[in-house]
Structure 1
């Protein structure tokens, strides 16, 4: 249950933070326990990312995760939150075909999860869907640059918008998303100076992942920054813990204690 003295983060809060030059801290979360920890630690925004497809379900890409699965993860996260703004990714196939389907997907997320906003990928091609969703009163966060749901089109997870034509399109797309009603935009894996230019051109905040220091906020996948996922080592990732090592050591010790009959001892039984 929410505490009355907790000041909730809203889309308006993020707007004020950008205006004040205060950086926005965002992390992914997929369950109640971690959401509760992150919320209490002061995270501004929790993203229920379709990266759950990778880090929770073990898929190679974000494409296989379904809307039902995203709703389940979002329900779990929302139950752990008192303060943070909760953003839920619309997964691949739930908004690309037409704005009516996009709106129906967004409505399901909002009604069934208690989340505060949705996020979807794409520039000009997503504008009509964004307008339709925003018109229905649902806040939308955009996502430009490396858009993982389009990985088979790109063919690689390399840095996007290094060439002038793609960079110009990204700048146009950012303004289009703002005009369509997005309250913020994630910029993924683009050159830092391009992200700076885009951030300065917008009234709404930008959230960077592999997009340098000039964005209005930053986001990382929790499994990456906590060192749970040890295979993923891009340049932009800073590991704040080595939980893979700590958890492995803890479990190995538990196994030894059980096998040696050291656990449970007399003080650990009834």
Structure 2
């Protein structure tokens, strides 16, 4: 191992061992500079298929491709030193069969250098998750609101309310039994998030699933306030960077139009 080889302090096994301990801090990242910032603060950095909406302007995650995930996965890995990097498997890359899932998951890990993949689905994905884990692919599960199934679910609705809680609980148990090392719980009632967390031996990562999960994740652009006109209920904004950026751009445009920039400080003189 060379002196420049990153020493990753978090692995799927060490994340699994964090069950019930200090909550896991997780954020998405899609670029090298943001990955460096996230790496300093986070335990897990997810290269989410949300990249399609956040960076590429797609209306949903359904148009995200393997090539996009590999491109952004490579970029994120260049910025990570210690955090566990997980890459989302995009829609259509794993649902057909366990063999298809392994083909694409192994490609994601080999070409990006990430340590694990994440895929959506519970009971119906149990066989696929088990197939991947048995072949050396660490898997993070994702149940509740699964954005890739948004057309079937009828929109971005809270899942697991009332009698629907049993279905979500069965999904959670199936993902654990299949061998996933952790599971994302998205948009669930707080009480169900707590019940699942207490029921499972693997860590739960909440996004709109209440404070009782073993960790939390947000889309980094949401929590930094880079989207000025969209804020899900479960998002807390820790900054308003869209406002700051708009002010900076307006100041730059004004300086250019008034020939105040570049000034002497930002111009080159002739050589003596």
TM range (shorter): over 0.9
Aligned to 1:10: 11
Larger radius of gyration: 2
Q: What does residue 132 of structure 1 align with?
A: 131
TM-score by length of 2: 0.94
Q: 8 Å contact 2:194–2:213 — kept in the other structure? A: yes
RMSD: 1.5
The 5 Å alignment of 1:140-159 reads 140-159=139-158
- Residue correspondences, number: 267
Q: Which residue of 1 aligns with 2:168?
A: 170
Runs of at least 4 residues of structure 1 off by over 3 A? 1-7
CA distance in 2, matches of 1:245, 1:2: 41
Helix, strand or coil: the match of 1:87? strand
1:6 deviates by 5.9
1:262 to 260, 263, 271: 260
5+ residue gaps, structure 1, are none
The change in CA–CA distance for 1:158 and 1:84 in structure 2 (over 3 A counts) is same
CA contact (8 A) 1:120 1:142 kept: yes
Kindly report which structure 2 residues correspond to 1:79-98, keeping only aligned pairs within 5 A, or say none: 79-98=78-97
Give structure 2 stretches of 5+ with no counterpart.
none
Q: Deviations over 1:114-134 (max 9, x none)?
A: 011000000111111111111
The answer for the alignment partner of 2:106 in structure 1 is 107
* 231-240 or 119-128, which deviates more: 231-240
Q: How far, CA to CA, are the matches of 2:12 and 2:228 in structure 1?
A: 33
Distance 2:142 2:151 in 1: 17
2:34 is equivalent to residue 57 of structure 1: no
Q: TM-score, normalised by structure 1?
A: 0.95
Alpha-carbon distance in structure 2 between the residues aligned to 1:269 and 1:153: 58
Report the equivalent of 2:38. Answer: 38
Residue 27 (structure 2) aligns with:
27
How far the C-alpha of 1:85 sits from its partner, in A, is: 0.6
Find the aligned partners of 1:5 and 1:222 in 2 and give their Cα distance: 23
C-alpha separation in 2, matches of 1:195 and 1:163: 13
1:268 Cα deviation from its structure 2 partner = 1.4
Residues 187-237 of structure 1, C-alpha deviations (whole Å, 9 max, x = no match): 000011111110011111000000001100000001110000122222211
Aligned 8 A contact 1:122 1:147 in 2: yes
d(CA) in 2 for partners of 1:231 and 1:220?
Answer: 17
1:211 maps to 2:209: yes
CA distance in 2, matches of 1:6, 1:254: 41
